[in-house]
Amino acid sequence: MPAVETHLGLVRRARKINRILADTYPDAKAELDFANPFECLVVTVLSAQTTDKRVNAVSPTLFAAYPDAAAMAAADRETLEQIIGSLGFFRAKADSLLRLSATLASEFGGQVPDTLAQLVKLPGVGRKTANVVLGNAFGLPGITVDTHFGRLARRFGFTEQTDPVKVEHEVGELFPKKEWTPLSHHLIWHGRRICHAQRPACGACPVARQCPAFGAGPTDPVAAAKLVRTEGRN
C-alpha cells in the first residue's frame, strides 16, 4: 500500500476489502431475529446497550403478546417491563416502545415508514436504527454505523471521522449504494469475530494485506487464532 494513497486508490482498496469480507462471511446478515418491519424496528431499539442474543431470547414472548403497533401501544407498562426486564435499560426501552408504537398507530396507520426522514422522527429512533430498518426490513440502501462499523472504518482508513453521521457519509461515497447494507453486515460481523476493539486478531485476518492498522493486535497466526470468535457478540 503506498505511503500516500490517492482517492482512487482508497476506493479500489475499500471495495477489495468488502469483496474479501463478502467471501469470508457469505451468510452475513442482521443477527437480530424479526419477521416484519415492525419487529425489525422494535428489536433494533431493544438492542442498544445489550446483546443481540438477549434480545432474541425475549422477542418471541414480546411479539406473542404484542404482535403489532396497536397492541404494543395499549400494553400494560408493568407487563411490558417484565418481558424485557433482562435487557439493559429496560425501563427506558419500555417507554420508547410505548411512545414509538403509539406514534405508529396514530400517525402511520400502524405501519413502519420506509424513508429515513420519517423513521428518524419516531420516538427513540436515530439514524443507526433507521438504517438498520431500511436495509434489513425494506431492502433499501443503508449504512449502519455502530461501534464495530465505526472502529473498522477508521482502522481500514476509510475515514478519520468519529461522528457517526460523518462516518456514514464518507464511507458511503466509497461504495455503490447497492453495497451499503451488505457492507454494514460485513464490517459488523468482522468486528465481532476478528477485528476486536482491544486485541484484534491481526494474524488471522483475511484483509491483513489491505489494512493500514495491521499490527494493532497479535500478528502471529497461532496467537491470533485464539482470539477469533466463531459467533458474533455485541
Q: Are 94 and 164 found together in one domain?
A: no
Q: Which of residues 114, 137, 160 is at a domain's end?
A: 137
119 and 193 in a single domain? The answer is: no
Q: What is the pLDDT of residues 136-191, one digit of tens each?
A: 999 999 999 999 999 999 999 999 999 999 999 999 999 999 999 999 999 999 99
232 falls within a domain: no
5: confidence class by pLDDT, cuts 50, 70, 90? very high
Residues 106 and 181 in one domain: no
Cell readout for 129 is: 436504527
In a domain, 180, yes or no: yes
Query: Is 220 among the catalytic positions?
Result: no
User: What pLDDT, on the 0 to 100 scale, is given for residue 4?
Assistant: 86
| Domain count for the chain | 2
**50 in the same domain as 111:** yes
Q: State pLDDT tens for residues 20-68.
A: 999 999 999 999 999 999 999 999 999 998 999 999 999 999 999 999 9
Q: What is the 3-state secondary structure (H, E, C) of the chain?
A: CCCCCCHHHHHHHHHHHHHHHHHHCCCCCCCCCCCCHHHHHHHHHHCCCCCHHHHHHHHHHHHHHCCCHHHHHCCCHHHHHHHCCCCCCHHHHHHHHHHHHHHHHHHCCCCCCCCHHHHCCCCCCCHHHHHHHHHHHCCCCCCCCCHHHHHHHHHCCCCCCCCHHHHHHHHHCCCCHHHHHHHHHHHHHHHHHCCCCCCCCHHHCCCHHHCCCCCCCCCCHHHHHCCCCCCCCC
Q: Is residue 109 part of a domain?
A: yes
pLDDT for res 230 = 82
- Domain-located, residue 1: no
88 is a domain residue: yes
Q: Domain check: are 89 and 23 in the same one? A: no
Percentage of the chain exceeding pLDDT 70: 97
pLDDT at residue number 232? 55
From the candidates 23, 52, 114, 128, which is the catalytic residue? Answer: 128
Residue 234 lies in a domain: no
93 given a catalytic annotation? no
Output the pLDDT for position 233: 54
Instruction: Identify the active-site residue in 93, 146, 163, 220.
Output: 146
Query: Of 108, 137, 166, which marks where a domain is finished?
Result: 137
Listed residues 80, 112, 137: the one ending a domain: 137
Is 213 a residue whose pLDDT tops 60?
Answer: yes
* Residue 71 banded pLDDT, cuts 50, 70, 90: very high
Q: Is the per-residue pLDDT at 193 higher than 80?
A: yes
Which CATH number does the domain housing residue 16 bear? 1.10.1670.10
Do 125 and 195 lie in a common domain? no
Does one domain contain both 65 and 112?
yes
Structural domain span for residue 23: 7-28+143-225
Examine residue 66 and state whether it is found in any structural domain, yes or no: yes
